[in-house]
Amino acid sequence: YIVIKTTSPCEAGKMYTMFADDFTGELGDDLTGIYRSEYKNEAGVNRVIAISQMETTGARHTFPCFDEPAFKATFDFTLYHRSDQGFYAVANMPPIIILPFFIHQTEMIDTVLWNSTTFDTTYVMSTYLLAVTVSDFLYEPATSTAGTYIYARPETIKNNEGVFAAEVTPALLDTIATHYDIPYTLPKSDQMAVADFGAGAMENWGLVLYRETLLLFDENISSVHDKYSITQVIGHELGHQWFGNLVTCAWWNEIWLNEGFASYVQYIAVDGVKPEYKPWEIFIIDDLQIALSADAYSNSHPLVHPEGRFSSITYSKGASFLRMVQSFLGETTFTGALKVTTFTNSEDYILGNIKGNGFYRINYDLDMWGKLSLKLKDPSFKEIPVENRAQLVDDIFALSRSGRIDISLALDLATYMVNEDEYIPWQTFLDAMTYCEYMLGASPIYGDFSKYILDLVVPSIYADLGWDDSNTSDSALITRMIRGEAIDAACTYGNQDCIDNAVMLFDQWRNDTTTIISSTYRTDVFCTAIREGGLAEWDFAWEQYLLSQNAQFQSSLRYGLSCSKDAWVLNRYLEYAMDPTKVRKQDIQNTFSYIARQEYGKYTAWAFAMNN
């Protein structure tokens, strides 16, 4: 809070101006407010830039203000910054005046060149949406009426890693504007990738900031999952330009109105631009099932919550709730975008919650579960919509985890997967198997459990799709995603052909680091080779991690490094992860999670956490 003491009483209805000339802020490194970030350029020189993150309370660290979402205002500001070596400022609005600025020599250690950049007046907006950066980034222009540029480290732009974002951003923005018949009114919609960013992305009005992994796409390194995630996240942040920026929740307890709507709108945007990605099918596993799972825990919370939590309930349950309401009210009443469908069931079984429109699970009686299981094992199983096939698998395993259904029923129903060829049922099934693996990893029946999975995966999607990932067109994106899941499962659960191929690819790359391993299964290759290998493989991968400047490649290596079977190696890795000169602060939590996820790492991670 802020306390203001006046020298005399204030008159009601009169406007006063408050000056805070002696305010001094801090350019910290804690990823909030305006903070410093570092990266090494192509020449290996360390570059220091300024980035901002105002949500939720970063603005008050930057300048005196009423830092609450309901207090909206226009903002005029001038930024004084270095202008040598290619440095310049970018903010919510375009610059209107850029002038040389001279600092008295006694006030500065060096005598570098400086500019003062004055930006145009912002629209009426909340403080948490303000953004300002000072960097030497290059940009990829996009063809857009909104004036879109994709900013990033110079080497990534030179490497054409901003091209994909430049392609989809204007189309996603136009899709949302057309869908709601409300134009995007700001003079620009810039997107910027930064190396140090606490959030995944931030919807600042006119200057959206992202982690590099969620905006930049390298055709030779990034995976199909990266491509889908980038499209989805851009759609989400652009959805905020209407839901959150134009219309804002009064307080953080209703943040679901921002995040739930943006999470819902991102699917409308992606479906309008890349329908071949099948976003509404992926909604089932990326949001509906995530929300149902989160809502089952005792620490779940209502959508409107006094603490204003940024959680999967806020995002995924919010989106699922909106999708359910839309399905109840119909397209004209709600958005006019989606068609309400009906389903006529056969005489043999009853199927509820068509296409997963409702935010709930269904526990059928044992007789009906049996009939549904028989239908799924029948050659005509695709008469059941793919969304429902995925939801049936998710529901029955969730119900078994809660003790409402015997696990044997779930495992029996899932044997139909040997004939399944769609992505979202496979992703659902393998997610369920991951939970079972956590429970059975050290049990006497783990061998039988692994054989069960391999008997479903290997003769179907692993054999059908193989390792040939040369078709990189958008039309093959879903196929490549299934291929990645097949190889991940086959290698994880011990298929020797998969292990041999992974080790061979790793050795080829180890002998010649210019060798390209497909991003679709690169992480699996790293993990398998390090798990099957020894210290030499681990040390080589760690060396490549330190040398790499690509965030997505580094992410694959960080996961692969967690797969070692040696406790002392994992302890050393955990020590490395605590050193911000080796692992970025934003990646520490993920690195710890990667290790804790492994059968050989979970006890090591627990002991490390208890001792530190």
Residue ranges of domains in the chain? 33-248, 264-329, 350-484, 495-612
The residue type of 331 is: E
The contacts of residue 297 (CB under 8 Å, 6+ apart) are none
Q: How far is CA 555 from CA 137, 415, 435, 548, 584, in A?
A: 22, 33, 22, 10, 11
Residue 24 pLDDT: 81
CA pair distance 262, 239, nearest whole angstrom: 5
Query: Residue 192's closest CA among 221, 172, 173, 212?
Result: 212
DSSP structure string for 104-160? -GGG-SS---EEEEEEPPPPSB-GGG--EEEE--EEEE---TT--EEEE-HHHHHTT
Q: What is the pLDDT of residues 74-104, one digit of tens each?
A: 999 899 998 988 999 999 999 999 998 876 5
Q: 47 - beta bridge partners?
A: 39
CA pair distance 82, 116, nearest whole angstrom: 9
- How high is the mean pLDDT of the chain? 91
If pLDDT is split at 50, 70 and 90, which confidence band does 458 have? Answer: very high
As given in the structure block, the two tokens for residue 487 are: 């190889």
Residue 236 annotated as part of some ligand binding site: yes
Residue 337 pLDDT: 42
Residue 338 pLDDT: 33
Task: Report which DSSP code applies to 601.
Answer: T
DSSP structure string for 71-92? --B----EEEEE-GGG-EEEES
In the residue annotation, 26 being an active-site residue is answered as: no
Query: Of these residues, 55, 203, 212, 237, which one is catalytic?
Result: 237
Residue 343 pLDDT: 34
Residue 104 annotated as part of some ligand binding site: no
CA pair distance 59, 32, nearest whole angstrom: 9
Q: What is the pLDDT of residues 316-367, one digit of tens each?
A: 999 999 999 888 887 677 765 433 333 333 447 889 999 999 999 999 999 8
CB count within 10 Å of CB 84 equals 12
Phi-psi region of 148 (alpha: psi -120 to 50; beta: other; left: phi over 0): beta
DSSP structure string for 250-294? SSGGGTHHHHHHHHHHHHHHHHHH-GGG-HHHHHIIIIIHHHHHH
Question: What percent of the chain clears pLDDT 90, i.e. is strictly above it?
Answer: 79
Residue with tokens 């991102």: 266
- How much helix, strand and coil, in percent to the nearest 5, is found in the chain? 50, 10, 40
Sequence length of the chain is: 612
pLDDT at 219 over 80: yes
Mean pLDDT, range 296-301, rounded to an integer? 84
CA pair distance 512, 506, nearest whole angstrom: 10
Q: What pTM, to 2 d.p., does this model score?
A: 0.81
The residue type of 555 is: S
Residue 301 annotated as part of some ligand binding site: no
Query: Residue 407's closest CA among 427, 431, 432, 388?
Result: 432
Query: Residue 25's closest CA among 66, 1, 58, 48?
Result: 58
Query: Residue 49's closest CA among 82, 4, 96?
Result: 82
Q: Considering only 10-19, 97-106, 118-127, which range has the smallest mean pLDDT?
A: 97-106
Q: Considering only 130-134, 172-176, 178-182, 397-401, which range has the smallest mean pLDDT?
A: 178-182
Residue 308 pLDDT: 58
Beta pairing, strands 132-135 & 88-91: antiparallel
* Fold assignment, 33-248: Zincin-like (3.30.2010)
CATH of domain 350-484: 1.25.50.20
Dmax (CA) for the chain in angstroms is 88
Residue 306 pLDDT: 61
pLDDT at 486 over 90: yes
CB count within 10 Å of CB 17 equals 4
Residue with tokens 């290059």: 138
Q: Considering only 66-70, 91-95, 190-194, 202-206, which range has the smallest mean pLDDT?
A: 66-70
Cα–Cα–Cα angle for 19, 25, 31, rounded to 5 degrees: 135
Residue 307 pLDDT: 64
Cis peptide before 591 (omega within 30 of 0): no
Q: Do residues 166 and 148 make contact, with C-beta atoms less than 8 angstroms apart?
A: yes
